[in-house]
Amino acid sequence: MPLVQGRKVLRGGWYALALVSATQCLSLLDRNILAILSPRIKHDLAIGDAEMGLLYGTVFALFYALFSLPLGRLADGWRRTWLLACCIALWSMATGLAGLASGFALLALSRLGVGIGEAASQPAGTSLIFDYFPKARRGLAMAVLAAAIAIGLGLSSVLGGMAADWWDGRFPGAAPFALKGWQFAFILAALPGLPLALLLWRLREPERGAADGIPTVPEARPFAAAWAVLGAVLPVSNWWLMARRGAEARVWAVNLGGSVAIVLAMVAAARMGAAFSPRPLVHLGLVSLSPHDLQWIVVGVGLFAMLNLMQSQRLVDPPAYAVMCSPSLRLSMLAGSLQSMINYGCMAFTPAFLMKVYHLSPAQAGLQFGLLSAGLGVVGPMVAGPLTDWANQRLPGLGRVLIAIFAMGGSPLLAIWVYHAPDAGSFYARFVAYSFVLTMWMPPLYAVLYDQVLPRMRGMTSSTYLVVSTITGLGIGPYIVGMISDASGGDLGRAILSINWVAVPLVAVLVALAMRVRRDEALVVERAREAGEPV
């Protein structure tokens, strides 16, 4: 690939990195604040851990995953700064909507809106930063973004716990507008989004592909292309588009056969879940469903969308399909997805674990755990980022993967030690080592992931990764932990540790990635050229 050599960041790059980092921070704040507020929500809405897992993971995950595809395509053709600004405004308003929720349905609608809005944050933000920063500095840039995510996660606990406690303490009886503390916390979390959206709207858009020495022709009709992607992955409309594009009989057979297989697998999974952890129905307007049925309907739709996306890419953009079929790219996506299952499964219930096992108040758990996880979440990536760049210079490709193996393979072993701590002080002391190792995984893996594609494909690559990682990680991780907790009489420690067994196949995936990452990265341009890309 004809790279532009050097380490110089384009003018305005550090300011852009600060704004995109703030976007990632706010995204995780609004997404994760539900975790610290869950005991109060469960009490007021009379729901269980399985339902909270649905709200935290599954409902959010479906729309986050689905809309990341058209918005990722839009990020590859439209102004990424404007796209980020619009989406931040949307998800902030959706977060505020949760402050008005008095039942499961409106809270689920709020999570739906947050999922749609946040779907553009990673595709557009990553693509933007890769056009400001040269390859030699991207490990550091990814470290800053990872640190911002950790700060957002930490702040969600601090802000949510303290705001809810303050409001309920200040208004113990009839609160203004009949708001509960957890509702006030949602409203407060929504406020920073609008000024940040304004700053991003005014940010300069860099030339796409300049940092890689690969000029990219501007998209003629970016919105039409984005709508086409959405239509290609949704049920019914995907069949209409397949017929319009003259799909061969073999393509139809794969789509219909895959659809039947997905439906059968989801029905079996829902029945297994119901047998393992029976739960009462949840009411969504006029419809009542088992939480297990809702869970696996969402996962099934996500898998169906992924099948449709791959078939659509093969028909309409053969170069992107050829590049994204790289074994290393797929292994990177799978590794990140498995790690997300562990991360989201643990983080969704750790605040509740601290309150239940160590009898901390929401304010105590939020402040202590939030500040600690935020601080350590900055240190780990900021160490891993420069280390990733250094390792890649000495062992191209492989060096990054070795750092990922250390972080993703070592942290589950430390988790056993952490979640068996006898008291809160011991938990926090052990959590220091655990969090430092755990948070080192993102800079090396993301640097590998996005260097496997051409600049014009980074938005769709990010979106594709988000679909896989969100459905498997956010969509399944919290649900599995919540289900195990309900089935074991509320043993959150056991449930959290159970999800860490995912590390066994995860390490095997990373070893396979290490064996071929350098070879696949060297073939990116060749794969694209053979499929018709003019590079």
Question: Per residue in 382-409, pLDDT tens?
Answer: 888 889 888 888 888 889 999 999 999 9
| Distance between CA atoms of residues 444 and 388, nearest Å | 6
Phi, psi at residue 282, to the nearest 5°?
-105, 145
Q: Count CB atoms within 10 A of the CB of residue 368.
A: 20
Q: For the chain, give the percent of residues with pLDDT over 70.
A: 94
pLDDT over 70 at 350, yes or no: yes
Report which of residues 253 and 216 the model is more confident about. Answer: 253
Report which of residues 496 and 442 the model is more confident about. Answer: 496
Q: Count CB atoms within 10 A of the CB of residue 327.
A: 15
Confidence of residue 284 (pLDDT cuts 50, 70, 90): low
Confidence of residue 445 (pLDDT cuts 50, 70, 90): very high
| Distance between CA atoms of residues 178 and 500, nearest Å | 41
Q: Please state whether the predicted TM-score (pTM) of the whole model is above 0.75.
A: no
Question: Per residue in 39-82, pLDDT tens?
Answer: 888 888 777 666 676 777 667 777 887 888 888 888 888 889 99
Least confident range of 140-149, 194-203, 334-343, 509-518: 140-149
- What is the sign, positive or negative, of the torsion defined by CA atoms of 297, 301, 303, 307? positive
Residues 6+ apart with CB under 8 A from 425: none
Tell me, what's the pLDDT at 3?
A: 43
Phi, psi at residue 22, to the nearest 5°?
-65, -35
Tell me, what's the pLDDT at 53?
A: 67
Helix (H) or strand (E) holding 474: none
Phi, psi at residue 436, to the nearest 5°?
-60, -45
Of the candidates 349, 320, 343, 380, which has an alpha carbon nearest to the alpha carbon of residue 529?
320
Give the pairing of strands 287-289 and 282-284.
Answer: antiparallel
Report which of residues 332 and 168 the model is more confident about. Answer: 332
| Distance between CA atoms of residues 114 and 23, nearest Å | 13
Tell me, what's the pLDDT at 173?
A: 63
CATH no. for 13-210+221-530 = 1.20.1250.20
Beta bridge partners of 289: 282
Tell me, what's the pLDDT at 50?
A: 62
